[in-house]
Amino acid sequence: MQVRAKTIRGGFPDWEREPLPWLAVALIAGVALLGPHVVQVDGIWMGCVSLLLVGALAGRRLGARIAVMLATVMLGAALGAPGPRAVPLERAALIQGVVREVSGISAVVDHPTGSVRLLFPGVVPAAGRVISARTTRVTSPPALPGEPDRQRVDRRLDRETRRVKDWVVIGPRAADSSIPDAFTAVEYGGVLWSLASGQRAALEPAHVALLRRTGTAHLLAVSGMHIGFVAGACWAIGRLLMALRVEWNPFWRWRRISASMVSLFGILSACMYASLVGWPVSARRAVWMVAGAAAATLLERPIRSWTLVAMAAMAVTIDDPDCVYGLGFGLSFGAVLGILLVTPRLLRWVPPDLPRLLAWVIDGLAVSIGAMVGTLPLTAWWFQAVSPLSPLANLVAVPMLGGVGVPAALIAAHAPERLAMMALWIGSEAIGCAMGVLSWLDRPPWTLAVGPMGAGLLVLAITARRQPVLCAGALACAIGLPELRLVDGLEVTVLAVGQGDAVFIRLPDGRRWLFDGGPPSRDVLEWLRREGHHHLDAVFLSHPDQDHLGGLVPVIESLSVGRFVTARPPRPEEHAYRALWQELYARRVPVEGADWEPDGPARLLHPSGEWLERSHTVARVGDNDASLVLMLEYEGLRFLLPGDIERSAEEWLSLLLPRVDVLLAPHHGSRTSSSDAFVVATNPDWVVVSCGPENRHGHPHAATLAQWRGRRVVRTDVHGTLRFRASRNGLSVHSWSRNGRFRAVRPWVWRPRPP
């Protein structure tokens, strides 16, 4: 125990002791930061070679280190340089190729002219299958402020995203990719098949949800832990077999050959398992680390953890430079870095004379905490949820799913039938025990949400060595950073949620309102959390169409809401709206109607009782015409949010409306809205069209845009999220750009084209 205590150390290694980690950081920085901006790759290669020569001539001086570091950065820039642009496909194209990579409901398919990402409506084909698919083009909406850029790698590779209408497996590798019947005979066969093949289509949603809530969902993705279990088990078997041979021939040379064969056996087993699951980033990292550890053992060199991780990072980056932009790369290496940086600091507080079982439990908890902390910046940014009991859950789930489930799954998939059935039963029982314990540890996760700057501050807090003040300050700023933003005046943010409306309003007195929630998704909820909003004083639903209602459901379920304002209660056939209404009742949220009179610079203009009485005498009122219409006014500047009203309601409102400065175009710019009387009555300076890119409705229509000629027109499908701020200094308009900040908008004034 004392020897172990002396070897415990944290922090990043120095150059003299281990230079490879510094070179790995330089290589990854060159790929990620400089690679996208490289134009002439040949000049970069010449500069890299020149710097390496300078470093070789400088010897052990400081200049040699600087030259080698710069050469490594330039090597990364050359590797990360963008390739030639791919030939664009037709709008409706037939894709035939090999599935190379599977992630969720999408897959990357290599075809004769390049690669394409396909979105599948149901089951996704396994990696290595040859498929033929009828596809149509998909244009993703602009990202919301602070949202992780999920299409960055595809844009770098000029890879198009397309939606699959129907597909079929073809070719000589057209094997059946469905779960075998033997796996379906046991309760947790889907989990076992996922561990054996890397395919997640057969997983039960309830099992996946439980693992996510307890912070153990990483066990379903084949990672370094699984590779380590397989390589370790095969190494132990080989060591046992070779030990018998060594006793018959106890010469040193035979012992050396035996050790080489055992190490080679472990490496080959790790490679075979990684090949079965499609070589994800975590598996590649683990194989390189296993190979490095085996080589160090054979050469009788000490195994240095930082050198192994750095070697794996450099090998993975050189093999596939674009993987550094992916989430898998960050989570895989982030967990290892957390274990190397945080776990030793925790173990310093452990007495060296503990009983062996208690010491094993504490070591497991420390490793789990280190991995959780290492991945915290990415999980807080991408998933916004951290399980408080994740270390305890992993302490139970890792031995069951990794130590028992993985070998049982591999034996069941490749062994004879009688042995396979026994392995299936053992694996299913082990996973069932783990699931039972996880159900007991299932607690609501912490909704820790940060943006890109907050994630960077969390990285600083984790890597701050021997500076607790800096660590605590970075952590406090990361958590409280969104709340530090002060607003002077009235702020209206039109969110780019695709084909739908979602408007966030921050009033001068600090109250926060949400007007509509966009189509069904969690995008609005995640944006609110990144901005630091955990309470909304009022939520407005203009009318219960899915492009306005869908995004409000997770908001109501997850955040604190002061009151809910809507035009009417749900009808019997409106199941989603009724479920939302029941959630409001369960949470005891007050519900107000269109006659509610809000305090402050706002008022509801529509639908009024007089208009409803008059309209019902003519015909049944449609949901669009009965939309809530909200007007905001501050310092003489007016904002009008009319929902999806059409010509009937517009003609009624045109007699009552004053001139406005900013108008959200009714019904997303449909041809059934923006009548002449409404345009003349409002006469806005700015017209905001909230619509999705290349939407199937054709919004906004050219005839509607012609109605707003001469005005400054902005669109969420073109400009992204738009922020209007009214203050004593006037009106300012900004849009969210891909470089991670709001910038002033250059408005587009619509004018008809000459014939």
Provide mean pLDDT across the span 723-737: 89
Q: Which of 296-305, 329-338, 405-414, 740-749 has the highest mean pLDDT?
A: 329-338
Structure-token match 């004392």, residue found: 2
Taking a C-beta distance cutoff of 8 angstroms, is the pair 637, 731 a contact? yes
Q: In the structure encoding, which two tokens stand for residue 529, read together?
A: 């959390």
Higher pLDDT, residue 370 or 180: 370
Q: Which positions ≥6 away from 292 have C-beta within 8 Å?
A: 307, 308, 311, 312
Residue of 555, 487, 565, 553 lying closest to 527 (CA atoms)? 555
CA distance 584 to 646: 29
pLDDT score, position 1: 36
Taking a C-beta distance cutoff of 8 angstroms, is the pair 607, 643 a contact? no
Among the residue ranges 192-196, 258-262, 365-369, 497-501, the one predicted with the least confidence is 258-262
Taking a C-beta distance cutoff of 8 angstroms, is the pair 512, 506 a contact? yes
Q: In the structure encoding, which two tokens stand for residue 653, read together?
A: 């409102």
CA distance 315 to 347: 30
Does pLDDT of 688 surpass 90? Answer: yes
Q: Which of 8-17, 396-405, 710-719 has the highest mean pLDDT?
A: 710-719
Q: Structure pTM?
A: 0.84
Q: Which positions ≥6 away from 585 have C-beta within 8 Å?
A: none
Provide mean pLDDT across the span 275-297: 80
Q: In the structure encoding, which two tokens stand for residue 597, read together?
A: 């009179």
Structure-token match 């194989």, residue found: 287
Structure-token match 């550094």, residue found: 324
Q: What is the DSSP string of 603-620?
A: EEEES-HHHHHHHHHHSP
Q: In the structure encoding, which two tokens stand for residue 746, read together?
A: 């250059």
Structure letter (DSSP) for residue 531 = T
Structure-token match 């509607």, residue found: 704
pLDDT digits (tens, 9 = 90+) for 429-447: 888 898 888 888 888 888 8
Among the residue ranges 3-12, 314-323, 484-493, the one predicted with the least confidence is 3-12
Single-letter code of the amino acid located at 449: A
Residue of 545, 579, 585 lying closest to 564 (CA atoms)? 585
What is residue 372's three-state secondary structure?
helix
Which pLDDT band, with edges at 50, 70 and 90, does 175 fall under?
very low
- Beta bridge pairs of residue 743: 735
Which pLDDT band, with edges at 50, 70 and 90, does 41 fall under?
confident
CA distance 12 to 33: 22
pLDDT score, position 412: 84
CA distance 521 to 82: 33
Q: Where are the beta strands (DSSP E) in 45-89?
A: none
pLDDT digits (tens, 9 = 90+) for 483-521: 555 567 899 999 999 889 999 999 988 899 999 999 998
For the chain, counts of helices (H) and of strands (E): 30, 23
Taking a C-beta distance cutoff of 8 angstroms, is the pair 373, 365 a contact? no
Q: Which positions ≥6 away from 414 have C-beta within 8 Å?
A: none
CA distance 158 to 636: 47
What is residue 385's three-state secondary structure?
coil
Q: For residue 666, what are the CA distances in angstroms to 139, 596, 674?
A: 23, 22, 7
Taking a C-beta distance cutoff of 8 angstroms, is the pair 186, 420 a contact? no
pLDDT score, position 5: 41
pLDDT score, position 421: 87
pLDDT score, position 621: 60
Does pLDDT of 192 surpass 90? Answer: no
Rg, the chain, Cα only: 30
Which pLDDT band, with edges at 50, 70 and 90, does 300 fall under?
confident
pLDDT score, position 481: 59
Single-letter code of the amino acid located at 202: A
Taking a C-beta distance cutoff of 8 angstroms, is the pair 27, 73 a contact? yes
Higher pLDDT, residue 334 or 356: 334
Taking a C-beta distance cutoff of 8 angstroms, is the pair 449, 483 a contact? no
pLDDT score, position 741: 80
Q: Which positions ≥6 away from 232 have C-beta within 8 Å?
A: 266
CA distance 153 to 633: 43
Structure-token match 């909230």, residue found: 690
Cis peptide before 607 (omega within 30 of 0): yes
Structure letter (DSSP) for residue 434 = H
CB half-sphere exposure, 506, CA atoms < 13 A? 20
pLDDT score, position 493: 95
Q: In the structure encoding, which two tokens stand for residue 69, read together?
A: 């570091």
Q: What is the dihedral of CA 204, 210, 214, 218, to 10 degrees?
A: 10
CA distance 262 to 268: 10
pLDDT digits (tens, 9 = 90+) for 139-172: 777 788 888 877 777 777 778 888 888 888 886 5
Q: Where are the beta strands (DSSP E) in 395-551?
A: 490-494, 503-506, 512-515, 535-536, 538-541
Does pLDDT of 81 surpass 90? Answer: no
Cis peptide before 13 (omega within 30 of 0): no
Estimate to the nearest angstrom the gap between the alpha carbon of 278 and the chain centroid.
21
Apex 718 CA angle, 715 and 719, nearest 5: 75
Taking a C-beta distance cutoff of 8 angstroms, is the pair 222, 277 a contact? yes
- Please write down the long-range contacts of 571-578, taking CB distance under 8 Å and 24 or more positions apart: 574/544, 576/544, 576/546, 576/549, 576/550, 577/544, 577/549
pLDDT digits (tens, 9 = 90+) for 640-682: 999 999 888 888 888 888 899 999 999 999 988 888 899 999 9
Q: What is the dihedral of CA 6, 11, 12, 15, to 10 degrees?
A: -50
Q: For residue 130, what are the CA distances in angstroms to 98, 105, 112, 370, 416?
A: 4, 17, 12, 41, 28
pLDDT digits (tens, 9 = 90+) for 93-140: 888 888 877 776 788 888 887 788 888 887 778 777 888 988 888 777
Does pLDDT of 611 surpass 50? Answer: yes
Residue of 135, 157, 153, 133 lying closest to 89 (CA atoms)? 135
Apex 170 CA angle, 168 and 171, nearest 5: 170
Structure letter (DSSP) for residue 386 = B
pLDDT score, position 8: 44
**Mean of pLDDT over the chain:** 82
Does pLDDT of 176 surpass 80? Answer: no
CB half-sphere exposure, 25, CA atoms < 13 A? 12
- Beta bridge pairs of residue 386: 446
Higher pLDDT, residue 54 or 329: 329
Estimate to the nearest angstrom the gap between the alpha carbon of 728 and the chain centroid.
39
